[in-house]
Structure 1
Amino acid sequence: MLLEVRHVTQYHYADPVRESVMEVWMQPKKTGRQRLVSFDLEVEPAAQLFSYADAFGNAVYHFDVPQPHETLRIVASAAVETEAAPALPDALDQGEWDRLRSDFVRGENFDFLAHGGFAVETDALRGFVAERGLDDLRRRDPLTAVRALSETIYDAFEYEAGVTHADSPIDLALGAGRGVCQDFAHVMIAICRSWGVPARYVSGYLFTDRQAGDRSDPDATHAWVEVFLPSLRWVGFDPTNNALAGERHIVAAVGRDYNDVPPSRGVYKGEADSQLAVGVSVRRARSALTEPEFIRMSQPSFARAGRRRPMSAPAHDQQQQQQQ
């Protein structure tokens, strides 16, 4: 499937700020089932772009806007060709649990077994596990257990934007019984790790299909989970939509949790209030488009965050966009 992504991030400041420094994780990864056809990153005001690969092999771009400005606009455009994931077996043998406990698997996946950041065991999480009888799933093979866990999270939570935010701990979603993809991914990762199953956070995009039952926001970035099973390697699960990650999922970056791979992160110098607007469009590529069609497809709708007053300090964190 050939897909086109346009991701627009815009910061507006009530008064001019003196400088902005940003990092972005927006370039889709090159994997065995995902081919990056093209990628372009535009920044306004204009800035020199630099890039590096982070510890998890993600492409990270960073830049500095050193002059006064009232608006910072970042536009990422990509074309990606994806393939469907190979069919999974109905189950694995019980020996997969022993393979997961091997020193080699645990050593190679140490970062994705340790609790930390948003993916932590809390009293609320332990209560959720007990209430839903999730530890009983460990009597099954790991693949069957993780499948059932993803389905349980889908059934247990309502999808609702605005209940949680980019920096919300999992206890907020657990208490409310609702949230967005970022929350569901962190809950699933924390439980998988408590079982000894390596799990990592995937940041990216989804070509939304309402007829397929997708409930995530089509105008936002998306997040899901990959678990490591020695017999299958990394397998993607999307608990927000009760689905396996497939050709409609575009991987931008992987990490231990959201903190490792936010779409954008930065600081600015100034005492102005800031406002963040984000727009995402994911469309199937078409061989020929008239100019009006192209313009219409390329203009994402915007999800606007609330105002934020920075603390009195030399540099202030930019607002981060929640993955929905």
Structure 2
Amino acid sequence: MKKLRFIYRMSLRFSEPVWDHYFALRCIPRDDDNQKVTITSRYVRPTNCLNRVMDGFGNEKYVGHYENPHKKFEYEVEGTALVEGMKVRREPLHPMYKYFSEYTKWGPHLEAFASKMEISGENNLDRAIAIMGWLYQHFEYKSGVTNIYTTAEEAVRTGQGVCQDYAHIMIALLRHAGIPARYVNGLMIGEGYTHAWVEIYTGEGWYGLDPTNNLHVDDYYIKLAHGRDYKDCILDKGRFLGIAQQKQEIYVKVEEIQ
């Protein structure tokens, strides 16, 4: 078990003023049996109203609205998390995690990729670890070749991508193999950006695997949100009126403390 200090900051700048801005921010780490979270500070600005609610997947989020013209929107969440990784999250299985979703829809490129795998194991976890190892060996990490709209089928065709693509491809392969799986957004030890990984259903609950790094999700990961794929747990989502270009900056830092 590790105690981690985290900071998650997002800044959104607009080239021209926008208004009537609604937003939903899944930036609150989950508090459960695997991680005990204490929020030490947070701000969201500008805003006329702000509420903390839970979505249909059990993720907490801040939702709010700002009606006046503005050229900048920003928020920050800081706190600590006492994390115990490599542990099953004991939850019942919802059937939706058995089936392909928008970003994990099966196709001929995934079929060709899967046909080359030789996967064995006595249970879901063993088979999932084998699938993760195969993906890690046969898919290359490279930024700039995919985007947030890239599906697993499109990413596997290119053979390159980022953590979101690794997660979507692995989820597609797992569901094809009859193993329920879900997408996870969160934070990882170090400094930089948010991260994405996978949870598989063992039969007793959910267990985290990180295909980008070929790792079990241990005490150095902080979970934010989960869903069928990226679309279900977008961390920063909103809409506004006005015509403007946007520039987003994200800063994440996670460090171990005593």
Q: Under a length normalisation based on structure 2, what TM-score does the superposition of the two structures give?
A: 0.92
- Match runs of 1:1-324 below 5 Å: 1-38=2-39, 40-86=41-87, 108-130=93-115, 132-133=116-117, 136-138=118-120, 140-208=122-190, 218-230=191-203, 232-285=204-257
Runs of 4+ that moved beyond 4 A: none
Distance 1:242 1:45 in 2: 40
AA matched with 1:38: I
Task: List alignment gaps of at least 5 residues for structure 2.
Answer: none
Cα pair 2:14 2:245 within 8 Å, conserved: yes
Q: Once the two structures are superposed, what CA deviation does each residue of 1:272-306 show, in whole Å capped at 9, x if it has no partner? A: 122222111112236xxxxxxxxxxxxxxxxxxxx
Higher strand fraction: Structure 1 or Structure 2?
Answer: 2
Distance 2:148 2:173 in 1: 20
Distance 1:80 1:154 in 2: 28
Cα pair 1:23 1:60 within 8 Å, conserved: yes
Cα pair 1:33 1:85 within 8 Å, conserved: no
Q: Secondary structure at the match of 2:254?
A: strand
AA matched with 1:83: E
Cα pair 1:28 1:78 within 8 Å, conserved: no
Distance 2:67 2:40 in 1: 25
Distance 2:10 2:78 in 1: 12
Distance 1:219 1:161 in 2: 14
Identical positions, percent: 28
Distance 2:23 2:121 in 1: 46
1:50, CA displacement in angstroms? 0.6
Higher helix fraction: Structure 1 or Structure 2?
Answer: 1
Q: Once the two structures are superposed, what CA deviation does each residue of 1:198-234 show, in whole Å capped at 9, x if it has no partner? A: 10111111114xxxxxxxxx4110111111111x421
Q: Once the two structures are superposed, what CA deviation does each residue of 1:138-187 show, in whole Å capped at 9, x if it has no partner? A: 57543221111011111112212222111112233212211111110111
1:70, CA displacement in angstroms? 0.7
Q: Once the two structures are superposed, what CA deviation does each residue of 1:28-47 show, in whole Å capped at 9, x if it has no partner? A: 11121200122543122244
1:84, CA displacement in angstroms? 3.6
- Aligned-residue Cα RMSD (Å) equals 1.8
Q: Under a length normalisation based on structure 1, what TM-score does the superposition of the two structures give?
A: 0.74
Distance 2:232 2:62 in 1: 14
AA matched with 2:183: Y
Distance 2:10 2:121 in 1: 45
Whose Rg is larger?
A: 1
Q: Secondary structure at the match of 2:109?
A: helix
Distance 2:73 2:63 in 1: 14
Higher relative contact order (CA 8 A, sep 6+): 2
Q: Once the two structures are superposed, what CA deviation does each residue of 1:3-28 show, in whole Å capped at 9, x if it has no partner? A: 12211111111111122111011111
Cα pair 2:51 2:63 within 8 Å, conserved: yes
Distance 1:257 1:48 in 2: 29
AA matched with 2:153: D
Change (3 A) 1:29 1:139: closer
Cα pair 2:47 2:64 within 8 Å, conserved: no
Cα pair 2:104 2:153 within 8 Å, conserved: no
Change (3 A) 1:116 1:39: farther
Change (3 A) 1:18 1:142: closer
AA matched with 1:280: V
Task: List alignment gaps of at least 5 residues for structure 1.
Answer: 88-104, 209-217, 287-324
Change (3 A) 1:151 1:45: same
AA matched with 1:77: E
Cα pair 1:109 1:198 within 8 Å, conserved: no
Distance 1:19 1:39 in 2: 29
Distance 1:28 1:121 in 2: 31
